[in-house]
Amino acid sequence: MSHWENPLVMPWDSRLERVAGPAGLVLFGLTGDLSKRKILPAIYDLAHRGLLPPSFTLIGVARPKKGIDDFTKMAEEAIRAGANTGIDERVLAQLMSGFRQVIGDYTSEETFAKLSEELARAETERGTGGNYAFYLAIPPKLFPHVLKELKAAGLDRHEDSGWRRVMIEKPFGHDLASSKELNDVVLDVFEPSEIFRIDHYLGKETVQNILALRFANELYEPLWNNAHIDHVEITMAEDIGVAGRGGYYDGVGAARDVIQNHLLQLLALTAMEEPTAFTPQALRMEKEKVLSATHFIGSVEESSVFAQYDAGWQGGDYVTSFRGEEGIADDSRTDTFAAFRLGINNRRWAGVPFYLRAGKRLGRRVTEIALTFRTPPFQFFSNEAMANVNANTLVIRIQPEEGVTFKFGSKVPGTQTMLRDVTMDFGYGHAFTEYTPEAYERLILDVLMGEEPLFPQQTELELSWALVDQATNYWEHTDREIPQYAPGSWGPQEAHDMLALDGRVWRRP
C-alpha cells in the first residue's frame, strides 16, 4: 500500500514542493557496489515519494558482462533489496519503464556514440528536455576517460536550453597535487556550477542539523567559543575491518578515505562563523576561512597518529590483522586508524584543540561530534558532592541513534547534597514522525534541481588535502613503526598519549 492510499504508511513529506523538473540521470558504474547499495535504491525512494518527474529517465552505462545482455533485472533487484520506503509495484514499474541501458566499455568512443543516441531518443520519447546529470560512480582512474569521451561526443553541452551536470564520487584525488589535476580535467569539460562533488556526509540530516542547532537557536551560539568550550572531539569509528575491500583500501587509509572529506567537513561546519545566507557562496566562504585557519598543534609528528589493527579477539571472533588481510602487503604502512590534534587560528577558537579520529575495528560503529565545556570558574559544591560530575558535554550524534545529547550535573534525590551526571536527549526517531531521507536521496534530488549548498567546492578540498598531506607524508616517510592496536579497542596507546600531552583523555562513545 502506498502513502497515497494510507498516509500512515509514509508520513507526508514537507519538502514535497521540491520536485525535480524533467530530467534524466546517466549512471556510470551501474553494476558497482555503490550503485547497487545506495544510488539505485535512492532513486526509487525519490520516485516513491513523488519527487521525480513522470518523464524521469535513468540511463545505466555498464561494460559487457558474460551471460548478461540485459541489466534491467539487476537494477530492479538492487532496488528491491535496498529501498527504504517499501516497494510499491506501480511506482517501481513506472520507474523501470524509464530505465535505459547502454552497454560498452568506458574507454571506447562507440559507447559514447550509443549513449548520445539514447539521450536524444529519451528526449523525444520521454520528454527529458535535454536535461542530464552524469553520475560517475566508477573507479577514479576512469574519470578522465569518461570526461574526455563525454566532451568528444559533445554530451557536455546541449544546443538548446537543457542543462548538463556531473556528479563525482570521492575520492577527489589522492593528495593535493592529484586533486588539482583531477579538477583541471573536470573543468576542461564542465563549468564550476555544473560540477557536484559528492560527500555523502553532507546529505545526512544530522549533519545539516549542525547548522540548524547552531544558527536557529539562541542557547548555543553565545557559548560556542573558547570562553566556554574546552575541547572538541570528532570521531568516526567502524567496528569492521577492510572486509574484502583491502585492494581499494591499501595505499588509501583512514586519513585520506574519511578525514580528508567527512571529518574535516564536520569540523568546518562545527567551527565556522555564521554565513551571511544559506547560499553556496556564503557557506563556502565560511568553510574555506575556517579550514585555512586549521593547523596541527605544534608539529605533525606530535599531533598525528597513524596505526593499524592487529590480530585478536573482537566480540567472540578471532580476527586477522590488517597486514594479514587478503591483498595487503606484509609491510603495508596504510593507516586503518588516524588521529589528529588540530588547532584553529582565530579569535573564537584560539586555545581549543579539535581532536579528530577515524578508524576500523574500533569499539563500536559511531560517528559523533562532542563539545566538552569548561568547568565553572568557581565550584560552589564540595568535592565530595561533585565526585560523580564531569564537565558538561554536548554530543551531536551523526550515526547511529541520530540526535543530540547534553550531559550535565544534577542533584541526586535524597537528604544529602550529592550530584551526578544526567543527560537530556533529542533523538530523531522520537522527536519526528517525518521520514528521514537517505543522504543519497537528498543529494541526487539537489543535483537534479541544481542546488549547490550541500556539495563541497574545490578550494575546501584543497585546504583539507593540504592538511592531510602533512600527516600522510610524515607517516609514509618516517622511520617510526606504524603502531598496532587491538581489535575492538579505541586505537593505539600513541593516540592516548597524544591527548595526554594536553592532560585529556578520549571519550568512550
To the nearest whole angstrom, how small is the minimum distance from the Cβ of residue 461 to ligand NAP? 14
- Among 26, 43, 137, 147, contact with ligand NAP (rule: CB under 6 A): 137
Return the residue of 77, 105, 117, 188 that touches ligand NAP, per CB under 6 A: 105
Comparison of 141 and 430: residue with beta carbon closer to ligand NAP? 141
Check residue 140 for interaction with ligand NAP (CB under 6 A): yes
Annotated binding residue 250: no
**CA distance linking residue 348 with residue 353, whole number of Å:** 12
CB of 106 to ligand NAP, least distance (A): 4
Interactions with ligand NAP, residue window 155-174 (CB under 6 A): 169-171
Examine residue 144 and tell whether it contacts ligand NAP (CB under 6 A): no
Question: Quick check: 384 binds ligand NAP (CB under 6 A)?
Answer: no
Residue 271 near residue 470 (C-beta atoms within 8 A): no
The span from the CA of 71 to the CA of 81, in Å, is 15
3-state SS, residue 489 = strand
What's the CA angle centered on 41, arms 254 and 95, to 5 degrees? 150
Residue 33 binds to ligand NAP (criterion: CB under 6 A): yes
- Does position 476 interact with ligand NAP (CB under 6 A)? The reply is no
| C-alpha–C-alpha distance, residues 49 and 16, integer Å | 8
Neighbours of 131 (CB within 10 A): 23
Q: Is 29 an interacting residue with respect to ligand NAP (CB under 6 A)?
A: yes
The answer to whether 296 touches 304, Cβ cutoff 8 Å, is yes
Angle, helices 40-48/89-97, rounded to nearest 10 degrees:
120
Of 18, 63, 114, 157, which lies in the binding site for ligand NAP, with binding defined by CB under 6 A? 63
139 binds ligand NAP (CB under 6 A): yes
Closest by CA to 356, choosing from 498, 211, 172, is: 498
Q: Assess contact for 487 and 310: CB atoms under 8 A.
A: yes
Q: Is 20 in the site for ligand NAP (CB under 6 A)?
A: no
Any binding-site annotation on 160? no
Whether residue 234 contacts residue 398, with contact meaning beta carbons closer than 8 Å, is answered with no
User: Cα-flanking dihedrals φ and ψ of residue 286, to 5°?
Assistant: -70, -40
Q: Does 148 bind ligand NAP (CB under 6 A)?
A: no
Residue whose CB is less far from ligand NAP, 62 or 269: 62
CA distance 338 to 369: 16
Is 148 assigned to a binding site? no
Q: Does the annotation mark 3 as catalytic?
A: no
List the interface residues with ligand NAP, window 67-96 (CB under 6 A).
none
Check binding of 287 to ligand NAP (CB under 6 A): no
Catalytic residue among 3, 48, 174, 262: 262
- Reduced to 3 states, what is the DSSP secondary structure of residue 107? coil
Tell me if 295 is assigned to a ligand binding site.
no
**Does 31 contact ligand NAP by CB under 6 A?**
yes
C-beta separation of 308 from 336 below 8 A: yes
Helices (H), 329-437: 428-431
Q: Which lies closer to ligand NAP via its Cβ, residue 199 or residue 446?
A: 199
Is 228 a binding residue for ligand NAP by CB under 6 A? The answer is: no
Nearer residue to ligand NAP within complex by CB, 107 or 379: 107
Strand partners, 438: none
Amino acid at 428: Y
Task: Give me the residues that bind ligand NAP (CB under 6 A), please.
Answer: 29-35, 63, 65, 105-107, 137-140, 142, 169-171
Q: Catalytic positions, please?
A: 262
- Which residues are known binding-site members for substrate? 200, 204, 238, 257, 360
> Binding site residues, as ranges?
63, 170, 200, 204, 238, 257, 360
